[in-house]
Amino acid sequence: MKISCVILTMGNRIAELDRAVESALTQTDGDIEVVIVGNGADVPELTVRPLPGSAASIKTVRLEHNAGIPEGRNRGVQECSGDIVLFLDDDGWYANSKVAAHVRERFTHEPDLAVISFRVMDPEGGSVQRRHVPRLRAGDPERSSPVTTFLGGACAIRKSAFLQVGGLPERFFYAHEESDLAWRLLGEGYRIEYDAETVMYHPLVLPSRHTDFYRLNARNRVWLARRNLPWPLAMLYLLNWVVLTLVRERSMPAIKAWFRGFFEGLREPAGERRPMAWRTAWRMLRLGRPPIV
């Protein structure tokens, strides 16, 4: 199975992008096709090249404006020829050269596997942030398990499954686009796995560093529910997140931004509604994360 790797860049992390591309090109038995998407920016000149004699390659695409993460990744997938697509952040890199071989082995022998979510480690201290383990019981990041969502910048996806459910929701721009895709994949009978053996490094950063984090986080939660959940579950899901936000968040500006996004999500079109079957919700409950949290 051929592997492609999609990397988004804003053109402002030149050394980091070089490192990310090099970690993909030097995969053992990889011959990876790297597709770099300049999201409203020119792709910087790279110093790394495919190894001599390798079938690996580099392709670049420039979007005229910053179209957001989901649209940028969708465009990258359109340019891929691989059966498996790796999504990699431009400031991340693979911890060893065996990631591609491991991913290929799993997808080859597990036809119902749609997504592998990688273990993300801090390169400085080796720690793993709780939010990087996509399950409620995140205390042991070295334990692999089936999950109901995944990390967008640290994963491998079966391209045919990705296209079957329509890819990432482009209106989301940023936040929860992976959950939207994951829920639709689960509805089609696919599996999603957190695989602790596949490790990538990423600097320790907080998602709240993004200017519109709270607004987009809330808006997209509403859209996620409106697009994918039966109405009784959608109401429970949104009520649950209103309560959790009020309990957890101590910053009044952050709370105001969150509720501004929440009501924006109620007012504005969410896109195509395809509510999951109740059997999918039951499956998610059995996997330890029902679609109300």
Contact 155/115 with Cβ under 8 angstroms? yes
- Mean predicted confidence (pLDDT) in 123-139: 86
Is 234 in the same domain as 92? no
Distance CA 44, CA 55 (A): 22
Domain presence at residue 248: yes
Is 166 in the same domain as 226? no
Domain presence at residue 292: no
pLDDT of residue 189: 98
Contact 241/214 with Cβ under 8 angstroms? no
The residue assigned the tokens 């980091």 is: 16
Is 139 in the same domain as 11? yes
Domain presence at residue 278: yes
Is 79 in the same domain as 160? yes
Domain presence at residue 168: yes
Greatest alpha-carbon span in the chain: 58
Domain end call among 174, 205, 236: 205
CB atoms within 10 A of CB 189: 12
pLDDT in tens, 71-130: 999 999 999 999 999 999 999 999 999 999 999 999 999 999 999 999 999 998 777 888
pLDDT of residue 192: 98
Is 178 in the same domain as 39? yes
pLDDT of residue 131: 85
The secondary structure of residue 50, as a DSSP letter, is P
Is 89 in the same domain as 215? no
- Least Cα distance to 141 among 199, 89, 206, 208 occurs for 199
Domain of 231 in residue numbering reads as 210-286
Is 181 in the same domain as 40? yes
Length of the chain measured in residues:
293
Is 190 in the same domain as 218? no
Question: Which CATH number covers residue 125?
Answer: 3.90.550.10
Is 254 in the same domain as 131? no
Contact 21/48 with Cβ under 8 angstroms? yes
pLDDT at 288 over 70: yes
Domain presence at residue 226: yes
Is 157 in the same domain as 255? no
Is 72 in the same domain as 128? yes
Q: How far is CA 246 from CA 121, 224, 230, in A?
A: 30, 20, 25
The residue assigned the tokens 């053996």 is: 197
Residue type, 221: R
Number of separate domains in the chain = 2
The residue assigned the tokens 């999918």 is: 280
Three-state SS at 284: helix
How much of the chain, in percent, has pLDDT values that exceed 90?
88
Name the token pair of 127.
């720690």
pLDDT in tens, 180-227: 999 999 999 999 999 999 999 998 877 655 669 999 999 999 999 999
Which residues, 6+ apart, have CB-to-CB distance to 247 below 8 Å? none
pLDDT of residue 211: 66
Write out the H or E segment, with its range, that includes residue 263.
helix 252-267
Contact 3/158 with Cβ under 8 angstroms? no
Domain end call among 159, 190, 205: 205
Domain end call among 205, 220, 237: 205
Domain presence at residue 164: yes
Domain presence at residue 291: no
Is 197 in the same domain as 234? no
Q: Which long-range contacts (CB under 8 A, 24 or more apart) does 46-49 make?
A: 46/17, 46/18, 46/21, 47/18, 48/18, 48/21, 48/22, 49/25
pLDDT in tens, 25-83: 999 887 899 999 999 999 999 999 998 888 899 999 999 999 999 999 999 999 999 99
The residue assigned the tokens 């036809």 is: 111
Domain presence at residue 293: no
